[in-house]
């Protein structure tokens, strides 16, 4: 593809993302799958520019408005990006928007006027509001400021960067050093991660799908922070474990591998399709201690039938996803699923119901990929007020038991942030049920959905859309 043709592909791709109610990565995958004639280098170049523009959504929009252009269309954003970020001059831009074969159409008079105003400027401007500069959407500003305090600026700036590519080794098939050697055979450079004893950080963005180490199940793609959440579960060989919101099975895989294929892991989700997609990952990893069980809701009768049967119950709750903005920049601006007002009661309902599965002396692990206090500490505190038979197990104690080295955080909870830990933003709380119960279980745990509660199946469909 010519440089001009690549630009038109970026415009087309951004248009599809704007018009399709699905996450940007899913839209991109479908876009390239339907255009197999686009070579690998061109796909990489188009995707990289599209993501770069998505990461600068607010700033480009601010400049486009500053220049007096009517709205931030995909064409306008590409034009502004070329001028402000790539520092192209107006003459070069005019040549690329030539209207020739496969090239973008010629600039309109209004676009020419915008180009003239933006030329010679850079992405930053002293009049730009802080929330625009750090790409914080209005809906999240107050909650992010409340959660991050004086670290709001530094954490939000870190969230502007592209996320690194992390892998988790499969301890049934490899260790860190043997996996590094296997990847090196495919000319892939990797090094051990700072916090996770199972992690590798890969240089660049190699096509892992064709690499033997990946195809043979030696490694899985998983952010280091997500690996640490799985470590916080601290499962033992022979344990009975539930991953209550298993999704595509990333943490399920990690937990089952830590159990050395011994015991039983039940992967649950309200979306059966997710569990079916995860089955191939389980097979590739050589794990046979996992069984999938779809749920009709968090109050599925299966939960009541298995009360107090499990040593570990992981609740990786549906959340705002603010901790994943590095890899999902479009999620800041496009509400494809439920908002906070729906997520908060859903999280509380899921946590309350899943707690019924924990045996005395067992543990309930509540986790999100959110950086918001309301979805994290506040949920745990509210749960403890009505479930007096659970206590917080500090992360430092879990790490000491697992001999996992120095814990990555101080305090009772696992709270990871991009600027502090160079991981996605994650939260996890380990809640242990007292071995000798002195308080009766709350009767609300065994009832169905009350009037005004959220239907998790409908929300699940929205999240997966």
**Total count of domains within the chain:** 3
Whole-number Å distance between alpha carbons of 159 and 371: 11
Picking from 188, 221, 254, the residue at the C-terminal end of a domain is 221
Whole-number Å distance between alpha carbons of 354 and 341: 21
- Predicted pLDDT at 439: 46
- Catalytic residue, chosen from 136, 245, 268, 369, is 369
158 located within any domain: no
146 located within any domain: no
| Percent above pLDDT 70 for the chain | 94
- Predicted pLDDT at 447: 36
- Predicted pLDDT at 421: 97
Same domain? For 230 and 210 the reply is no
10 located within any domain: yes
Beta-bridge partners for 293: 268
The contacts of residue 54 (CB under 8 Å, 6+ apart) are 14, 17, 24, 329, 330
- Predicted pLDDT at 449: 36
Q: What CATH number does the domain containing 191 carry? A: 3.30.70.1170
> Is the pLDDT score of 322 beyond 70?
yes
* Mean pLDDT, residues 158-162 taken together: 96
Same domain? For 32 and 89 the reply is yes
148 located within any domain: no
370 located within any domain: yes
Q: What CATH number does the domain containing 277 carry? A: 3.40.50.150
- Predicted pLDDT at 105: 96
> 227-236, 290-299, 377-386: lowest mean pLDDT where?
290-299
Could you tell me the residue range of the domain that residue 402 belongs to? Answer: 224-464
> Is the pLDDT score of 271 beyond 90?
no
> Is the pLDDT score of 446 beyond 60?
no
Picking from 70, 102, 128, the residue at the C-terminal end of a domain is 128
Determine whether 245 is an active site residue. no
Whole-number Å distance between alpha carbons of 117 and 83: 10
Same domain? For 300 and 368 the reply is yes
351 located within any domain: yes
Q: How confident is the model at residue 273 (pLDDT cuts 50, 70, 90)?
A: confident
Q: Report the 10 Å Cβ neighbour count for 11.
A: 22
Our separate counts of H helices and E strands in the chain read 21, 12
- Predicted pLDDT at 336: 84
Same domain? For 209 and 239 the reply is no
Q: How confident is the model at residue 454 (pLDDT cuts 50, 70, 90)?
A: very low
Same domain? For 252 and 216 the reply is no
Picking from 206, 221, 236, the residue at the C-terminal end of a domain is 221
Model confidence, pTM: 0.90
Same domain? For 39 and 108 the reply is yes
Same domain? For 30 and 121 the reply is yes
Same domain? For 211 and 228 the reply is no
> Is the pLDDT score of 433 beyond 50?
yes
Residue-wise pLDDT for 27-81, tens only, equals: 999 999 999 899 989 999 999 999 999 999 999 999 999 999 989 999 999 999 9
153 located within any domain: no
- Predicted pLDDT at 356: 97
Burial of 56 (0-12, 13-18, 19+ CB in 10 A): buried
Same domain? For 263 and 405 the reply is yes
Same domain? For 352 and 436 the reply is yes
Same domain? For 293 and 387 the reply is yes
- Predicted pLDDT at 280: 86
* Mean pLDDT, residues 379-406 taken together: 95
189 located within any domain: yes
**Of the candidates 341, 356, 335, 343, which has an alpha carbon nearest to the alpha carbon of residue 317?**
343
Same domain? For 188 and 228 the reply is no
Whole-number Å distance between alpha carbons of 309 and 304: 10
């Amino acid at each position: 593809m010519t440089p001009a043709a690549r630009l038109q592909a970026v415009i087309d791709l951004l248009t599809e993302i704007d018009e399709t109610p699905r996450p940007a990565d899913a839209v991109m995958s479908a876009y390239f799958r339907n255009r197999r004639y686009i070579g690998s280098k061109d796909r990489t170049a188009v995707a990289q520019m599209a993501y770069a523009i998505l990461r600068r959504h607010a700033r480009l929009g601010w400049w486009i408005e500053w220049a007096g252009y009517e709205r931030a269309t995909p064409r306008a954003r590409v034009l502004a990006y070329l001028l402000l970020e790539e520092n192209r001059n107006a003459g070069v831009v005019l040549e690329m928007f030539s209207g020739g074969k496969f090239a973008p159409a010629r600039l309109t008079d209004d676009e020419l006027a915008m180009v003239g105003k933006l030329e010679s400027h850079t992405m930053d401007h002293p009049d730009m509001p802080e929330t625009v500069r750090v790409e914080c959407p209005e809906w999240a500003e107050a909650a992010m400021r409340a959660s991050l305090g004086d670290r709001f600026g530094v954490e939000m700036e870190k969230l502007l960067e592209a996320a690194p590519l992390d892998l988790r080794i499969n301890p049934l098939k490899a260790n860190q050093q043997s996996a590094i050697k296997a990847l090196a055979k495919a000319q892939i450079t990797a090094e051990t991660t700072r916090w996770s004893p199972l992690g590798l950080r890969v240089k660049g963005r190699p096509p892992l799908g064709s690499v033997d180490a990946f195809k043979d199940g030696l490694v899985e793609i998983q952010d280091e922070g997500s690996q640490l959440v799985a470590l916080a579960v601290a499962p033992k060989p022979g344990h009975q474990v539930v991953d209550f919101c298993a999704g595509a099975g990333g943490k399920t895989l990690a937990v089952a591998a830590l159990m050395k294929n011994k015991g039983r892991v039940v992967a649950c989700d309200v979306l059966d399709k997710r569990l079916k997609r995860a089955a191939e990952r389980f097979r590739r990893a050589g794990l046979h201690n996992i069984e999938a069980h779809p749920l009709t809701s968090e109050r599925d009768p299966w939960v009541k039938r298995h009360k107090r049967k499990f040593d570990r119950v992981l609740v990786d709750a549906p959340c705002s996803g603010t901790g994943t903005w590095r890899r999902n920049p479009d999620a800041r601006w496009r509400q494809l699923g439920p908002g906070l007002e729906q997520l908060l009661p859903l999280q509380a309902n899921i946590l309350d119901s899943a707690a019924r599965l924990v045996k005395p002396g067992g543990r309930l692990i509540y986790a999100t990929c959110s950086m918001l206090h309301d979805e994290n500490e506040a949920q745990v505190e509210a749960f403890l007020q009505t479930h007096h038979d659970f206590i917080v197990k500090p992360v430092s104690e879990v790490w000491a038991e697992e001999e996992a080295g120095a814990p990555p955080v101080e305090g009772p909870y696992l709270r990871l942030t991009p600027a502090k830990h160079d991981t996605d933003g994650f939260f996890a709380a380990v809640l242990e049920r007292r071995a000798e119960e002195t308080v009766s279980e709350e009767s609300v745990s065994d009832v169905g959905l009350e009037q005004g509660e959220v239907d998790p199946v409908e929300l699940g469909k929205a999240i997966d859309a």
